Amino acid sequence: MRASRHAAPASLPIGSDADLAWVRQQVRQAAAELGFGLVQQTKLVTAASELARNTLVHGGGGHVEITPLDAGPSPGLRLAFVDAGPGIRDLDQAMTDGYTSGGGLGLGMSGAKRLVQEFEVDSRPGEGTRVTVTSWATVVPPTRPGS
């Protein structure tokens, strides 16, 4: 059996516009290092941008934990966006296309969900929100027959 090997998660603060840009760059770099294709990278970075902005705008700032997952058959990247803000009062509503409480297009949560493979929200009113997303790189086995 393959030994399970988890690299230590990196934690980045989300407190300003510049932090959003930094999160996008770091997520892209981590995804590229794990062998994500360009489209997959772009989807994950975009999802990260949406969720980090939620953390900043609705959660009053927080941080993101970036965890590379390379124990399974294909590598993955897990991102957890954490804030100690007011929490999401109506989760179903927040997940609906077009619903917005922040003057955006209302695609942040529902759109981000469509860009990743796993999506999980843990929110408690008055305590904060933790949104965890995971994407797996689809990897073609590197060995070619006859090689």
Partner 1 sequence: MQVSVSVSEENAEQEPPAQQVSAFLERRREQIAQRWADAALFRTVFTVSRDEAVEAGRSVAAALAAVAAAGRLDDIRASGFAAVRDQLGRMAASRGRMGIDADGLADEVAALREPVTDLLRAEFPDPCAPEAQECVLALTVLMGTLRLVVLETTVSAGEEVIARQREQLHEVATPVIKLWESTVAVPLIGTLDSARSQVVMESLLDAIVAERARFAILDITGVPTVDSLVAQHLMKTVAAARLMGAECIVSGIRPAIAQTIVQLGIDLGTVLTRASLADALAYALSRQGVEIAPLRAADAGAR
Partner 2 sequence: MTGPSGNGPFGGPGFTVPVLRLGDILLVTLQGELHDGMAEQLQQDITDRIAHTRVTGVVIDISGVDIVDSFLGRVLAEIAAGAGLLAARTVLAGMRPAVAITLVELGLTLPGLRTALDVERAMELLTAGERQAEGSP
Interface ranges with partner 1 (CB under 8 A): 1, 39, 138, 140-141, 143-146
Q: Which of residues 103-122 bind partner 2 (CB under 8 A)?
A: 104-105, 107-108, 110-112, 114-115
| Distance, CA of 47 to chain centre | 6
DSSP three-state, residue 87: coil
Residues numbered 58 to 97 that lie near partner 2 (CB under 8 A) are 97
For partner 1, give the closer residue by CB, 81 or 119: 119
27/43 Cα distance (integer angstroms): 11
* CA separation, residue 17 to residues 32, 53, 129, 136 (Å): 23, 8, 20, 27
Binding site for partner 2 (CB under 8 A): 17-18, 20-21, 24-25, 28, 38-39, 41-43, 45-46, 49-50, 53, 97, 104-105, 107-108, 110-112, 114-115
